[in-house]
């Protein structure tokens, strides 16, 4: 089995009639994802993707009529927070938000609500999830990976592609690849994804792709040391990057010495994680395990 | 500015990324907000000439402080704050300060304020706690310039409080903060009001940092906010058009300003290999591998998702404007970005800009074959992998790019 998405996924696309929504819905459908509905307020009653998918005015109606259990969001940033809340309110279990740059104040409220409703949110600013060979909920190019036993969790978009593509070139496939999202406030952190992979029978090795800023990698290192039995390989981008141009003291007080690439790498090494120096080194580290 | 607004409100993908997520306000702008939210501050006005400084000092009628308005920390230690006793002195010091630079930031304006007698300096700030996903309010009885050392060496002297965004900062929470930092009882009421007003501003204006440091207790036993740092969530600027004109770009390089116009995320570095990449994580990984192979990146540049050939042209123009650049490395992993669009941008650049700087191009992903075809016959070196591309670029840069 894969994690988060599989053959049971019944996908709803919020913003399906927009430029990005339309294009990627088509891509996901061709990959094999079951797309059961689209939502664009004001376009209810239309049929899209060559007449295969009905459009609804509200997520509530779409869920009632089609039994959608997962939603992907392609609506612009100023409306995306509202779209997540609408999905959560309509009983969707898993929401994947591709949109980036939702105002932080809105996201803090969204996060409280989804926690209280027990909804799993991936993103915002996520490339989505892909579980080869049949299910993709996101914008990850289809042909860069195939079914295998490596789980991938990443904060980036294109850097994730780079890594799974390097795996493919080396003949290594993936169970599920999850982009947790690059915005400051996200729904699901590394530790939660690692915990899913730990419990997934298909996944044997996990790759964690982090970057500078925040302290999610450090927290994941603790989780790996205490709760993981499967091997983890890490890559942290941003060794050369200039220190984040910070202002004021509050951020430094909260994060202390957290945040730099060196500190993240050290924390992961201490937890027994092998660290790659560059993306294309990862396959050789896997083969040496 | 317009493009910036569009970037953040209207589209799904954009390259503003890691380094441009906040907009900083000057002290005088922060204090305008404090005035609106009834947070006590010293009397004062802004001066941009020595004569104005003198007039303001006359009006304030007593010792005054001249404070250089620059968006950089450590301003006081760098000589940007002066205490004077007379309007004449104010004029002299102002003429010395105005026009000079502090840590490379030009001083264009001074905030002239009445001098305040200080009994104690405390700290009050609030910001986003990314991991917890809430707002954290922080207070300490030992405020002032050394607050970070206090936090590091004596963390027990820092009081922290998480705020549920659905209910806000409650009375009892602010009172508990006052208790924790051992504020004397007569000051509680004022401290609670200041905390709650600051939180209200933080909420209303989509701030990502609101800090009063120091918040001083005067010899008359009053609380007054002496200095402040405020940053605004760039992604929420569409809700606050009043802030859009307040951005101070004087500290940014012309490349950074130009980059913002085209919705590119650009940071100048000191090396000689210009980098153009799609995606912030991949851009950082590309810089890392350059260094790993013994080279030095000249910049961080993320062209974002779905870049057009115009955006590619603008990005390359910015990179080529840097005289240190002797080699360009382009690393594109096409997802929503199309390799043919990038290739067209590269061809347009070579047509529009006369340059001897060699290009090393690595294109993978969406429309890769079309992209390669467009580059065929062009004077660029292509590579199949990032590893290979980095090696070629580093070797070229060490030969001076020839």
**Per residue in B127-136, pLDDT tens?**
988 878 889 9
Q: Is the peptide bond before B214 cis (omega within 30 degrees of 0)?
A: yes
Mean pLDDT, residues B163-182 taken together: 95
Whether B197 has a pLDDT exceeding 80, the answer reads: yes
Whether B123 and B234 share a structural domain: yes
Domain boundary at B218, B244, B270, which?
B244
Query: How far is the alpha carbon of A20 from chain B, nearest alpha carbon, in Å?
Result: 8
Provide the CATH number for the domain around residue B97. Answer: 3.30.1490.20
Whether B234 and B296 share a structural domain: no
Whether B262 and B305 share a structural domain: yes
**Within a domain: residue B160?**
yes
- Residue with more model confidence, B17 or A223: A223
A120 phi and psi, to 5 degrees? -95, 120
**Within a domain: residue B97?**
yes
Domain count of chain B?
Answer: 3
Tokens standing for residue A59: 């997520």
Whether B80 and B129 share a structural domain: no
Candidate CATH numbers 3.40.50.300, 3.40.50.261, 1.10.260.40, 3.30.70.1170; the one for domain A128-288: 3.40.50.261
Residues 6+ apart with CB under 8 A from B205: B33, B232, B240, B243
At residue B20, the pLDDT reads 46
Whether B104 and B237 share a structural domain: no
Whether B263 and B237 share a structural domain: no
Pairing outcome for strands A205-211 and A147-154:
parallel
Residues B210-262: tens digit of each pLDDT: 999 999 999 999 999 999 999 999 889 889 988 877 877 776 777 777 887 88
| Contact at CB, B336 and A165, closer than 8 angstroms | no
Tokens standing for residue B251: 């500290």
Residues A149-177: tens digit of each pLDDT: 999 999 999 999 999 999 999 999 999 99
Mean pLDDT, residues A39-60 taken together: 97
Mean pLDDT, residues B259-274 taken together: 87
Catalytic residue (choose from B113, B121, B142, B211): B211
Write out residues 243-282 of B within 8 Å (CB-CB) of A: 267, 269, 277-282
- What are the residue ranges spanned by the domains of chain A? 11-122, 128-288
**Among B6, B29, B205, B235, which would you mutate to test the A interface (most chain A Cβ atoms within 10 Å of its Cβ)?**
B235
* Nearest-Cα residue of chain B relative to residue A169: B385
Write out residues 172-191 of A within 8 Å (CB-CB) of B: 182, 184-185, 189
Whether B261 and B382 share a structural domain: yes
Render chain A in DSSP notation, one character per residue. Answer: --SS-STT--EEEETTTSHHHHHHHHHHHHHT--EEEEE-TT-TT-EETTTTEEEES-HHHHHHHH---EEEE-S-HHHHHHHHHHHHHTT-SEEEE------HHHHHHHHHHHHHHT-EEE-SS--EEEETTTEEEES--GGG--EEEEEEEES-SHHHHHHHHHHHHTT--EEEEEE--SSSS-SS-HHHHHHHHHT-SS--EEEEEEESSSSHHHHHHHHHHHH--S-EEEEEE-SSSPPP---SSHHHHHHTTTTSHHHHHHHHHHTT-EE-SSGGGHHHHHHH-
Whether B206 and B233 share a structural domain: yes
- Chain B residues with CB-CB distance to A77 below 8 A: 8-12, 235
Q: How confident is the model at residue A116 (pLDDT cuts 50, 70, 90)?
A: very high
Whether B17 has a pLDDT exceeding 60, the answer reads: no
| Contact at CB, B19 and A237, closer than 8 angstroms | no
- Chain B residues with CB-CB distance to A184 below 8 A: 21, 128, 130
Domain that holds residue B194: 118-244
CA distances A270 to A218, A225, B113, Å, are 10, 8, 52
**Within a domain: residue B209?**
yes
- Chain A residues with CB-CB distance to B385 below 8 A: 166, 280
Distance in angstroms (rounded) separating the CA atoms of residues B170 and B163: 9
At residue A250, the pLDDT reads 62
Of A39, A43, A41, A48, the residue nearest A11 (C-alpha): A39
Mean pLDDT, residues A57-80 taken together: 96
Distance in angstroms (rounded) separating the CA atoms of residues B317 and B325: 12
**Among A114, A242, A250, A276, which would you mutate to test the B interface (most chain B Cβ atoms within 10 Å of its Cβ)?**
A250
Whether B125 and B92 share a structural domain: no
Provide the CATH number for the domain around residue B379. Answer: 3.40.50.261
At residue B328, the pLDDT reads 97
Q: How confident is the model at residue B72 (pLDDT cuts 50, 70, 90)?
A: confident
- Chain A residues with CB-CB distance to B365 below 8 A: 141, 144, 161
> Architecture of domain A11-122 in CATH?
3-Layer(aba) Sandwich (3.40)
**Among B25, B27, B285, which would you mutate to test the A interface (most chain A Cβ atoms within 10 Å of its Cβ)?**
B285
Whether B263 and B393 share a structural domain: yes
Residues 6+ apart with CB under 8 A from A266: none
Catalytic residue (choose from B27, B37, B123, B256): B123
**Within a domain: residue B18?**
no
**Within a domain: residue B151?**
yes
Is B211 an annotated catalytic residue?
A: yes
Centre a 10 Å sphere on the Cβ of residue B94 and count the other Cβ atoms it contains: 26
Residues 6+ apart with CB under 8 A from A180: A122, A123, A126, A153, A154, A155, A186, A188, A189, A190, A193
**Within a domain: residue B233?**
yes
CATH topology identical between A11-122 and A128-288: yes
Whether B200 and B307 share a structural domain: no
Domain boundary at B92, B115, B138, which?
B115
Provide the CATH number for the domain around residue B208. Answer: 3.30.470.20
Whether B228 and B122 share a structural domain: yes
Strands ordered across the beta sheet of A232-237? A135-138, A128-131, A174-179, A147-154, A205-211, A232-237, A274-275
Mean pLDDT, residues A178-191 taken together: 94
The length of chain B in residues reads 402
Whether B89 has a pLDDT exceeding 50, the answer reads: yes
Q: Is B341 exposed, middle or buried (0-12, 13-18, 19+ CB in 10 A)?
A: buried
**Whole-number mean pLDDT of chain A?**
93
**Within a domain: residue B323?**
yes
């Amino acid at each position: 089995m894969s994690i988060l998405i599989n053959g049971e996924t019944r996908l709803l696309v919020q913003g399906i009639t927009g430029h990005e929504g339309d294009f990627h819905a088509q891509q996901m459908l061709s990959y094999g994802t079951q797309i059961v509905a689209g939502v664009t307020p004001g376009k209810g009653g239309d049929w899209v993707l060559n007449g295969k998918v009905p459009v609804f005015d509200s997520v509530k109606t779409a869920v009632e009529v089609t039994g959608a259990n997962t939603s992907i969001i392609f609506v612009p940033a100023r409306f995306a927070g509202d779209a997540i809340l609408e999905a959560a309110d309509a009983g969707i279990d898993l929401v994947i938000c591709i949109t980036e740059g939702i105002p932080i104040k809105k996201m803090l409220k969204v996060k409280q609500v989804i926690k209280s409703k027990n909804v799993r949110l991936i993103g915002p600013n996520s490339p989505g999830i892909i579980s080869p060979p049949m299910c993709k909920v996101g914008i990850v190019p289809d042909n860069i990976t195939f079914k295998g036993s490596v789980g991938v969790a990443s904060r980036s978009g294109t850097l994730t592609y780079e890594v799974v593509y390097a795996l493919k070139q080396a003949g290594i496939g993936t169970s599920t690849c999850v982009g947790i999202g690059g915005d400051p406030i996200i729904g699901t952190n590394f530790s939660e994804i690692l915990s899913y992979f730990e419990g997934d029978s298909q996944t044997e090795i996990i790759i964690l792709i982090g970057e500078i800023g925040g302290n999610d990698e450090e927290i994941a290192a603790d989780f790996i040391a205490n709760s993981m039995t499967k091997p983890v390989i890490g890559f942290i981008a941003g060794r050369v990057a200039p220190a984040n141009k910070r202002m004021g003291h509050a951020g430094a007080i909260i994060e202390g010495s957290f945040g730099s690439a060196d500190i993240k790498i050290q924390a992961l090494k201490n937890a027994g994680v092998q660290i790659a120096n560059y993306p294309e080194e990862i396959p050789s580290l896997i083969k040496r395990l | 500015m317009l493009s910036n607004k569009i970037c953040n409100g209207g589209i799904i993908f954009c390259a503003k990324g890691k380094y441009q997520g906040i907009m900083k306000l000057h002290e005088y702008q922060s204090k305008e907000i404090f005035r609106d939210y009834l947070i006590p501050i010293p009397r004062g006005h802004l001066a941009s000439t020595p004569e104005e400084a003198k007039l303001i000092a006359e009006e304030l009628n007593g010792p005054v402080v001249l404070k250089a308005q620059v968006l950089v920390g450590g301003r006081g230690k760098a000589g940007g704050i002066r205490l004077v006793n007379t309007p004449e002195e104010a004029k002299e010091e102002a003429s010395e300060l105005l026009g000079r630079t502090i840590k490379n930031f030009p001083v264009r304006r001074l905030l002239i304020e009445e001098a305040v007698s200080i009994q104690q300096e405390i700290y009050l700030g609030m910001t986003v706690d990314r991991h917890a996903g809430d707002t954290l309010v922080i207070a300490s009885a030992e405020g002032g310039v050394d607050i970070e050392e206090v936090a590091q060496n004596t963390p027990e002297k820092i009081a922290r409080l998480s705020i549920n965004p659905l209910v806000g900062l409650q009375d009892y929470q602010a009172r508990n903060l006052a208790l924790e930092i051992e504020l004397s009882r007569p000051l509680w009421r004022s401290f609670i009001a200041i905390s709650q007003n600051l939180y209200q501003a933080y909420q209303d204006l989509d701030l990502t940092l609101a800090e009063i440091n120091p918040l001083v207790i005067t010899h008359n036993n009053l609380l007054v906010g002496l200095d402040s740092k405020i940053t605004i969530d760039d992604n929420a600027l569409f809700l606050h058009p009043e802030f859009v004109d307040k951005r101070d770009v004087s500290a940014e390089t012309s490349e950074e300003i130009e980059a913002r116009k085209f919705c590119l995320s650009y940071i100048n570095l000191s090396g000689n290999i210009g980098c153009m990449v799609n995606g912030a994580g991949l851009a950082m990984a590309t810089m890392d591998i350059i260094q790993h192979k013994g080279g030095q990146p000249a910049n961080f540049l993320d062209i974002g998702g779905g870049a057009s050939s115009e955006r590619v042209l603008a990005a390359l123009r910015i990179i080529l404007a840097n005289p240190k650049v002797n080699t360009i490395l382009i690393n594109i992993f096409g997802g929503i970005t199309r390799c043919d669009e990038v290739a067209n941008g590269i061809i347009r650049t070579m047509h529009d800009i006369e340059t001897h700087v060699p290009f090393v191009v690595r294109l993978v992903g969406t429309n890769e074959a079309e992209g390669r075809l467009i580059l065929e016959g062009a004077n660029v070196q292509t590579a199949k992998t990032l590893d290979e591309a980095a090696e070629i670029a580093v070797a070229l840069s060490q030969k001076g790019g020839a």
